[in-house]
Structure 1
Amino acid sequence: MLQIIAALVIYIALVIPMGTYLYHIASGQKTFADPVFNRIDNGIYKICGINRQGMNWKQYVASLLTTNAVMIFAGYLILRIQGSLFLNPNGIEGMEPTLAFNTIISFMTNTNLQHYAGESGLSYLSQTLVIIFMMFTSAATGYAACMAFIRGITGSGTHLGNFHEDFIRITTRVLIPFSIIIALILVSQGTPENYTANLTLHTLEGKNQDIAMGPMAALVAIKHLGTNGGGFLGANSATPLENPTILTNLVEMYAMAILPGACVIVFGKMFHDRKKENGAEAKKMRALIGHQARPILGAMAILFLIGLSICFFAEKAGNPLLEHAGLSQAMGNMEGKEVRFGIDQSVLFTTVTTSFTTGTVNNMHDSLTPLGGMVPLLHMMLNCVFGGKGVGFMNMIMYAILAVFLCGLMIGRTPEYLGKKIEGREMKLIVIVLILHPLLILGFSALAVVNQAGLAGITNPGFHGLTQVLYEFASSAANNGSGFEGLADNTGFWNITTGIVMFLGRYIPIIAQLAIAGSLFAKRRMNESAGTLRTDNVIFTMTLVFIVYIFAALTFFPALALGPIAEHLILWFPM
């Protein structure tokens, strides 16, 4: 418990200054590194011929989709012909079409769901030009969209920004420099960073073993900082090459959690420019908007801590069947966990990676207890517990506006959020965002369990097998990428269906959320009155938590009852 508490306290100390730095970048304010980065950015703008004029939400979305489409096409081509290209000392062949489709969609959507083993499925060229490159660009795409969204809902500036400028500034000023620092820490602890062929060593047991080489530290650094999650190796951060020590374990956790948390800080700091109005009113408006970050951050923290507690106590309780068989469970459920991390750091890592939608793992989620495994599954279903690359923040704002609308209807007050009236257009778009996520998860899970091609991939019978299916599509829809790893998913059915889910789960919400931001941005701000529902206090924080859980219960509880909950009951209360 002390390990977990200490890790969370350090995180709070780190996220606030990172949020301030990210706010300065998003709002175009000066930073200490401007003399260096301004020259780099200006050079990129000039070479690429980028027009830095402000965009409305439609222009922003069009630029985002066009840029991503070009990268998807180029990456797919490299994966298909990697066997004929250079930087391939291990002689790896080109990817099969459906696997290449799944992989390129996975990494461009910031999901990093892996239906392949990195050490045997990709050349070093693909690892660098496709995987590592897209870990930067997909993360930058998400954070750029989040910054535009914040500008829209807070009314900051005169437009939503310029996608290309946001994309470049976030990459050069945040993702690249911090990834270099993280990579150097990883290398110092033993993570490889080279382009040599795999080593074949003679072990003490008298057998030969292949040791993976390659640009591992570079990939591991951005996979966490960009909330990507795809491992250089198939076993991801559960291996001592990607995650050698307790220090690297903590660094990787902080890396994947710091920027999503910082997005909430940015929201709290970004306010509408009221220079033309008197100082008292401007100050009042800044305070009103600044305080709105507190209930959002508070609701996320409550959801996170509840999930962490359930997962912790479930894993500590262990497996009762082993206890009945006379095997000690004093240490709890250690199956699938690294002894150098134990249950404490494994549980914290599990909750962080699925709350911040990163997808990296330092233990096998398939080996978690039923309730322990339900926590990462539920957090991906909620998709608003911090989330990655700004996604969790934007989804939580959807719930906040929904809460305002429902509470306003119940008490007869005008639905307003941040001084903007919430009307039918915004609510229709919010419904699209909130309904799409469970529709993708439950709809495609149903397709898998009634289709022979889907059933062929399920390796566990009964309740656990259904949990595997739910987890696969929840991970895909939430752009998370972690897996139960018990599913035989490298088939045409699973590659295509999860690819479709990842694509729709990424781009439709972004389009709808930017449309909401554009709609609110265009509206005049209403003056606060006695009929205005307060959204900056503890009551609204608790209301928001209940709205999230109620929505989840209405949509996902039947599926969870047939999966992890039923498995837990059978385990602890056998017939």
Structure 2
Amino acid sequence: MTFQGWFLILLFVGILLALTKPAGLWLHALYEGRRTPLHVVLGPVERGFYKVSGVDPTQEQGWRRYAVHMLLFNVALLILTYAVLRLQGVLPGNPQGLAGLSPDLAFNTAISFTTNTNWQSYGGESTMSNLSQMLGLTIHNFLSAATGISLAFALFRGFARREAKAIGNFWADVTRVTLYLLLPICVVYTIFLIASGVPQTIAGAVDVNTLEGVRQSILLGPVASQEAIKMLGTNGGGFFNANSAHPFENPTALTNLVQMLSIFLIGFGLTWTFGKAVGNTRQGWAILSAMVILFLAGVTVTYWQEAAGNPILHQLGVAGGNMEGKEVRFGIAASALFSVVTTAASCGAVNSMHDSFTPLGGMIPLFNMQLGEVVIGGVGAGIYGFLLFAILAVFVAGLMVGRTPEYVGKKIEAREVKLAVLAIAVLPLVILGFTSLSSVLPQGLAGPLNKGPHGFSEILYAFTSAVGNNGSAFAGLTANTPYYNGLLGLAMWFGRFFVIVPMLAIAGGLAAKKHTPESAGSFPTTGGLWIGLLVGIVLILGGLTFLPSLALGPIADHLAMIRGQLF
């Protein structure tokens, strides 16, 4: 590890902390439906949408109606994307003449982008036409991200409102987030990427002569615009198969830093928005503190292991850290940081190959996802997932002080605890169930490139990434088969919507409750004790649930490595 590496990590966190309140203020304005400076230009667009669609933004919805509209919206988008991908070969905007996707791959991809997972069982530049990238996929990058933020707003209203029957209007929330947050930032972001050397064209490719005199076709496309929302919306799906390791997606150290910052920006801001919504910004800072502690712990372990390198290679006289699977222009520190950022958020973009990390270095991205993608989390999904853990933590705290648990003025009763447990239990049930199945069936065992613990890690990582709606992968797994496309598609759907519905039920129940003022017997939820309890609950639930599977995979792989064993 080097001073420059730690400086980059601390600079990254420092910039984000400085941006937390400004981002939170803007998000809070959208949460309340207040005017912003952009309303002068975009207000007529918003009103025009409501008029054409017949939506009354002032008519609020109860949690059931909010959930139904959200589900129908996402199902409609899924069907649209499936049709675009299947018909790609006969649709325009296909300069390379690529054929339509197979039924199982189109099914997997449509669910992947609908759920904000962006798992890719294909190589982007060799599979997707420009139209499929722009219409079938990028539209989801905006709307799945806007859906996540809207759902976070709904839960905030559940905590903030008193004896209310409604938690907002889904259509108004999605429209405002898309128009006044995601689109404006992405316009500026796209211009920055173009200026940095990222292509933005509808051309298919350009032919060049290499220095060796070989004629080569270099693929192009509307990369910059997709890259911007890919990062800001924690989507992660790469235009190119190499994702953000490709120089056309991430050409410089500056673009690499900006991409990492954009992955976390909205997640940081939403913690402040939550505190503002419930009338105590210290609540938001407490949640962010717990998230940052978990994040820094993960970065420390990953950077330490990657900088230490592989002892087997050291014995052969190859000194230094582990540069396998990493781009020289980024190096070990920036690659390790990116891997933890992208899996702490549910982004899944990669600037290095996690399959090539040291066993414990690769375990941290895996463990980040197994914690429920709540360390910072995806846009919206991270904060509402973390609040589910907060409900369990305050329940435990209530048992400690011997009274009904309370959180930000709302009593947490049996209904909220049961729903929170139901939502949190989805991840281990699906991850471990599908991993076990794939570890014994011939169709599952045909996927891993490696044998032994590392091959098991490839399977475990795939289902963890799918259920956690992350999308990154241990790239050694061959996933473009009917078996994996189908099972991973189901895992992505369960991981997104089987968490959302119980969460909305909690929001509806909390909104209907009275406000309970803090008393001498209340457990404090803003200090160091509370932050420690939050960190402990997240780690214990993740650790106790997944430790056996980690022992079979990356931990066993690490022990084999230090013994000098090769598989």
* Structure 1 length-normalised TM: 0.95
**1:242 match:** 249
Shift of 1:572: 1.5
**2:387 match:** 397
Matched, 1:556 2:561: no
Task: Say which SS state the counterpart of residue 200 (structure 1) adopts.
Answer: strand
Contact in 2 for aligned 1:441/1:474 (Cα 8 Å) = yes
Matched, 1:381 2:370: yes
**2:343 match:** 354
Shift of 1:46: 1.0
Shift of 1:14: 2.1
Matched, 1:112 2:118: yes
**1:486 match:** 476
> Of 61, 64, 67, which residue of structure 1 is paired with 2:70?
64
Contact in 2 for aligned 1:413/1:533 (Cα 8 Å) = no
Matched, 1:420 2:410: yes
**2:212 match:** 205
**1:229 match:** 236
Matches within 5 A, 1:236-315: 236-271=243-278, 286=279, 289-315=280-306
Contact in 1 for aligned 2:409/2:516 (Cα 8 Å) = yes
Shift of 1:410: 3.6
Matches within 5 A, 1:21-170: 21-52=26-57, 53-155=59-161, 159-170=166-177
Q: Which amino acid aligns with 2:324?
A: E
Cα distance in 1 for residues equivalent to 2:327 and 2:217: 20
Contact in 2 for aligned 1:227/1:357 (Cα 8 Å) = yes
Q: Which moved more, 1:43-52 or 1:440-449?
A: 43-52
Shift of 1:156: 7.3
C-alpha distance after superposition, 1:520-543 (max 9, x if no partner):
110111232222111111101001
> Of 497, 500, 518, which residue of structure 1 is paired with 2:487?
497
**1:283 match:** none
Task: Give the gaps of 5 or more residues in structure 2.
Answer: 1-5
Matched, 1:14 2:4: no
Contact in 1 for aligned 2:444/2:484 (Cα 8 Å) = yes
**1:276 match:** none
Cα distance in 2 for residues equivalent to 1:548 and 1:154: 24
C-alpha distance after superposition, 1:150-209 (max 9, x if no partner):
111222795311000000000010111111111111110111111112123221122232
**2:3 match:** none
C-alpha distance after superposition, 1:397-419 (max 9, x if no partner):
11111111122224412211112
Task: Say which SS state the counterpart of residue 429 (structure 2) adopts.
Answer: helix
Contact in 1 for aligned 2:19/2:269 (Cα 8 Å) = no
Shift of 1:554: 1.2
Task: Say which SS state the counterpart of residue 211 (structure 1) adopts.
Answer: strand
Task: Say which SS state the counterpart of residue 77 (structure 2) adopts.
Answer: helix
Cα distance in 1 for residues equivalent to 2:339 and 2:204: 32
**1:277 match:** none
Matched, 1:334 2:340: no
Matched, 1:189 2:199: no
Shift of 1:493: 0.6
Shift of 1:326: 1.1
Contact in 2 for aligned 1:111/1:479 (Cα 8 Å) = yes
Q: Which amino acid aligns with 2:306?
A: E
Cα distance in 2 for residues equivalent to 1:336 and 1:458: 18
> Of 524, 528, 539, which residue of structure 1 is paired with 2:529?
539
Contact in 1 for aligned 2:189/2:228 (Cα 8 Å) = yes
CA separation of 1:150 and 1:193: change in aligned 2, threshold 3 A: same
Cα distance in 2 for residues equivalent to 1:16 and 1:375: 29
C-alpha distance after superposition, 1:12-46 (max 9, x if no partner):
22232111111111112232222122212111111
**2:429 match:** 439
Give the 4+ runs in structure 1 shifted more than 6 A. Answer: none
> Of 330, 334, 345, which residue of structure 2 is paired with 1:345?
334
Cα distance in 1 for residues equivalent to 2:206 and 2:301: 42
May I ask how many residue pairs the two structures share in their alignment? 557
CA separation of 1:179 and 1:529: change in aligned 2, threshold 3 A: same
CA separation of 1:51 and 1:208: change in aligned 2, threshold 3 A: same
Cα distance in 1 for residues equivalent to 2:425 and 2:479: 26
Shift of 1:294: 2.4
Contact in 2 for aligned 1:156/1:270 (Cα 8 Å) = no
